[in-house]
Amino acid sequence: MFRYLTAGESHGEGLYAILEGVPAGLKIDLDYINYELSRRQLGYGRGERMKIEKDEAIILTGVRGGITTGAPITISVKNRDYENWERFMRTTGDIESGREVTVPRPGHADLVGGIKYGHKDLRNVLERASARETAVRVAAGAVAKLFLAEFGIRIYSHVLRVGSVEVEYPGGLPEEELKKADERPLRCLDPQVESRMIKWVDRARENGDTLGGIFEVVVFGLPPGLGRYVHWDRKLDGCLAGALMAIPSAKGVEIGDGIALANIPGRMAVDEIYYENGRFYRKTNRAGGLEGGVTNGMPLVVKVSLKPIPTQVKPLKSVDIITKEPKPAQVERSDITAVPAAGVVGEAITALVLMESFLEKFGGDHMREIKVNFENYIQTIIAY
């Protein structure tokens, strides 16, 4: 059983995650985790904060000399500007006034959070509801990616749409192509489309506006048989959708060709089955690598749609929760678009879901044992 909890506020001392159930014997490359954190901070259209704060992961428990021990792993990502916020945010002792938020921002948890948890200072809501939390999940996801990599599983993401500009759908991109996403300013693989996206970002910046979009996560090297069709809550498509929809600003999740499949006749919506050289294969991957909620050996493909970041440079209409008078929502520094970075978050979350599913299927407490179990299963597939 692999599970994890995260904690931390946007302007608190730091973010924390405890990962329980990581097997022993996994090499943890801290540079790789920090590299993943830096990927989350990239992207044309990011705000100032991202440039100031280079995130770094600290591993506090569960790893010894760079190798996991099987014990729970604690990861922390500090907030670099905490010293400026300490007097407003400290956990114990009196806090100073001056940073209260009483005008809820539309599109955020502010108002419902205040009502639900009985807060009159909405900072108590927004500090936790902030997308800042995804930093520590990217660090946790980097551990999951290191784990999956030991079994030849590789995870990529790229941007399909920013605002109204969308690439023609590039299904079946080769791995070599996907590797290049990080070289591109918006992590979009089509340079011509990307240049139009950049113009949209620039225009949005001028207008004090923000942009949503769509990213895609593609996973290579998955064995067939992850996930379970026998009970709805063990189907991998559901598990992935549940985790991905919880990404801040996510409003849509698709598996494989997704919504486009609603549009075409049944006989064109499936991936027919062939056999050659001792293995079953498909020539197409409309299903995105999942049939019946179980991996079928084709690349896993998921798409996530994001609404524009609701924090606006130009304020939105709202109401002061104390006075009940109309008042524009507070303007906070903001990214123009978070879609390129959200793709990196999507990779991390996909990795965490896959790691859980992988460990459920293969069991084992240390890497050598899991590798033997995995290899045996691969042999049974060949012999099937």
Binding residues for FMN: 128-130, 292, 307-311, 333
Amino acid residing at 315: P
Residues with Cβ within 8 Å of 123's Cβ and at least 6 positions away in sequence, in order, are 88, 99, 100, 101
Indicate the residue among 179 and 379 with the shorter CB distance to a second copy.
379
Q: Does 240 bind a second copy (CB under 8 A)?
A: yes
Question: In whole angstroms, how close is the CB of 147 to a second copy at the nearest point?
Answer: 14
Q: Does 376 bind a second copy (CB under 8 A)?
A: yes
In the list 287, 300, 341, 354, the residue contacting a second copy (rule: CB under 8 A) is: 287
Dihedral Cα 142, 61, 132, 35, nearest 10 deg: -40
Indicate the residue among 165 and 183 with the shorter CB distance to a second copy.
165
In the list 48, 81, 179, 207, the residue contacting a second copy (rule: CB under 8 A) is: 207
Distances (CA, A) of 136 to 235, 298, 368: 26, 30, 28
Q: Does 378 bind a second copy (CB under 8 A)?
A: no
Structure tokens given for 34: 């920090």
Amino acid residing at 187: R
Site residues (CB under 8 A) for a second copy, limited to 104-133: 104, 106-119, 124-125, 127-129, 133
Please name every residue paired with 290 in a beta bridge, in sequence order, or none if there are none: 295
Q: Does 90 bind a second copy (CB under 8 A)?
A: yes
Q: Does 243 bind a second copy (CB under 8 A)?
A: yes
Comparing CA positions, the residue from 248, 241, 184 lying closest to residue 217 is 241
Question: In whole angstroms, how close is the CB of 253 to a second copy at the nearest point?
Answer: 5
For residue 125, the 8-state DSSP code is: H
Q: Does 244 bind a second copy (CB under 8 A)?
A: yes
Residues with Cβ within 8 Å of 304's Cβ and at least 6 positions away in sequence, in order, are 214, 215, 216, 217, 244, 245, 247, 250, 252, 253, 254, 342, 346
- N residues, the chain: 384
Indicate the residue among 41 and 296 with the shorter CB distance to a second copy.
296
Site residues (CB under 8 A) for a second copy, limited to 250-269: 250-259, 261-267, 269
Site residues (CB under 8 A) for a second copy, limited to 288-327: 288, 291-297, 305-310, 312, 314, 316-319, 321, 324, 326
